[in-house]
Structure 1
Amino acid sequence: MNKYEGLNKSMVQQFAPRPGRKPLLPSLSKKAQVALMCRMLTREGWNEHIAGHITCRLDDGNILTNPWELAWEELTASDIVTLNPEGEIIDSDWNVTPAIGLHLQLHARRPDLHVAIHNHAHWSGIWANLQRVPPVYDQAGAYCGVDLPLYNEYEGTFENEATSLSAVEALGDAKWALLANHGSLVVGKDLRQAHLRAITLEWRSKRAYEVELAGGGAKPLSDEEVAKVSIADDNGFPFCWEAMARRELRLDPGIVD
């Protein structure tokens, strides 16, 4: 039995409220958290030059997002742009991607989600180009369950409103999707949940590709086995988001400026 078997919702909740003697992170503005998310996912392979966009809906309905001109690896809190629900810039001289409509439509149609992430991620992008769903081979690839929709009606980039709307409709109530010949899409109720989904998708995709390079033949985990080791708690893996955020802050404390 692996050490995570049986890690169910009650056990996660038991440990999550007790982080230890010291704060796991300093107090961070929401813009700083979004900038950290961009840095954290860059390191995970969500780093196709200046492509990709993260949106985070605030309690007042406004939306935070990364600027079009800057790569995720260089963003700081002061670069994060605030939009109104219609996508109009409120507080920045930066531009936002023309493909932001995909996110605006997601937020409008899915009141349960507050974070949406799209990029041409490295490992999951391979499977998107293969138009195949990667199997789950280990516990880290199983954290967010098995189901992974493949949206395979690629009609171009998401600047077109009809194209982005069809992608939103195809996603339905799923937590993530592969976009055939394009990239990856992850949504979540908050940054922590979306982070776990994004890194799990990339790990799952990487491991599955490595198994194929090794000649295949390995047996994927069954759906029942995946259910045993998946993280049932909506808040994600305890302390993981904070640990990855601390790593970025050690490398560049100026992220939060």
Structure 2
Amino acid sequence: MTFIPTAEKLMPELTPREEIALLARALWRQGYNDHLAGHITALQPDGTLLCNPWLVRWDELRPEQVIRIDLAGRVVEGDWPVPLGIPLHLALHSARTDVTWAVHNHPLYGTVWADLGEIPPIYDQSSALGGGGDLVLVNEYQGPVNDPTTARGAIDAMHGGDLALLAGHGVFVLGGSARAIFQRAVALEQRCQRAWHIRAAGGSPAPVLPAGFLNHLKNSDGDGFVGFWESAVRAELRSDPSLLP
């Protein structure tokens, strides 16, 4: 009998709040761990956003702490404050109806390349697994994105990209599901890490991956690699079984 992997067989069914809490914890382990920084949003059918709150680190976030906000940034459900930089997500979701999930944080290697004002090459297949459009560079730092005007400027400068390096700031990863976001975010930081190590080792070899392979992954929506996100969910639930009722 052939085993067909599906998300339902590989992990429990999750609510959107549970997905946000598990995504935050899983990404913290992958280097998205700049203290209290970072925002995760998930667009809901009624036009509101589920969001991690301010004052709670990603590695301690629980589903019941996830707040719901409107596109003006007002809390409509929950008893925690809104993250300071949420105007970046408000500008995104107001401008782009194609995006339902978004993650912003300051992982080490992604932020280094953003600070350099460079897009790192893709040197290996694992670094290419982000899928879904181009990685773009927003190479002007106009101020923190808690300012709505600055936030709108950053979104406009992405020109529809699905992943961005924000100069002097960090990274921004967009997608259609928690699975897509997790895979893209992990692959982005791995791409940045490998490229940095290659440069630090004194070499800058031309990437050897064939263009056809890269174009195939580039056309992906980031949601097709079943098992990657699910294994991360299982790891988090083993670490803290109390996350789910």
TM over 0.5: yes
Match of 1:196 in 2: 183
1:19 positional shift: 1.6
Which shows bigger deviation, 88-97 or 63-72?
88-97
Paired letter, 1:241: W
Match of 1:220 in 2: 207
Match of 1:186 in 2: 173
Indicate if the aligned counterparts of 2:133 and 2:219 stay in contact, CA closer than 8 A.
no
1:190 positional shift: 1.7
Runs of 5+ in structure 1 lacking a partner? 1-14
Q: State whether structure 2 residue 141 is matched by structure 1 residue 177.
A: no
Runs of 4+ aligned residues of structure 1 deviating over 3 Å after TM superposition are: none
Runs of 5+ in structure 2 lacking a partner? none
Match of 2:122 in 1: 136
1:114 counterpart (60, 75, 100): 100
Which shows bigger deviation, 114-123 or 209-218?
209-218
Measured in 1, the distance between the counterparts of 2:8 and 2:43 equals 29
Which shows bigger deviation, 104-113 or 91-100?
91-100
Q: Secondary structure at the match of 1:61?
A: coil
Using the size of structure 1 for normalisation, the TM-score is 0.87
Q: State whether structure 2 residue 217 is matched by structure 1 residue 254.
A: no
Which whole-Å deviations, capped at 9, do the CAs of 1:140-162 have from their partners, x for residues lacking one?
11122683211011011111111
Paired letter, 2:98: D
The structure, 1 or 2, with the larger RCO (C-alpha pairs under 8 Å, 6+ apart) is 1
Paired letter, 1:255: L
Using the size of structure 2 for normalisation, the TM-score is 0.92
1:136 positional shift: 0.5
1:32 positional shift: 0.5
Match of 2:232 in 1: 244
Indicate if the aligned counterparts of 1:76 and 1:254 stay in contact, CA closer than 8 A.
no
Count of residue correspondences: 242
Measured in 2, the distance between the counterparts of 1:164 and 1:135 equals 27
Paired letter, 1:95: P
Which whole-Å deviations, capped at 9, do the CAs of 1:21-79 have from their partners, x for residues lacking one?
98211122110011000011101111100000010011121111111101000001011
Pairwise CA RMSD: 2.2
Measured in 2, the distance between the counterparts of 1:214 and 1:256 equals 44
